[in-house]
Homo-oligomer: A and B are copies of this chain.
């Protein structure tokens, strides 16, 4: 899976990421959404809103959860949860 197909979900409004997802799907059948921490909920929102408002053929292909180790500004290690949502638009 090339990284060109990946949309990293952060703190921007949901529709910004929906636009990015639709942009990926102009050139690919598959899009990968990745998020960490509190943005995990936003990633699910982006997947659901893109499907319900823009592309009803979009289907969830795979959802994976995991843990990453982050170094905080104070130099401490902290675990953060991650999600990866793969969706495809194959009719």
Contacts and interface: CB of A to CB of B under 8 A. Distances in A.
Interface in A39-56: 39-41, 44-45, 47-48, 52
A19 interface: no
Contacts of A39: 41
A69 to B, nearest CB: 11
Contact of A38 (B38, B65, B79, B83): B38
Closest 5 CB pairs of A and B: A63-B63, A40-B41, A44-B81, A48-B67, A41-B41
Counting contact residues on chain A (CB < 8 A from B), the size range is 20 to 34
Contacts of A85: 65
A66 interface: yes
A65 B44 contact: yes
Interface in A65-91: 65-67, 79, 81-83, 85
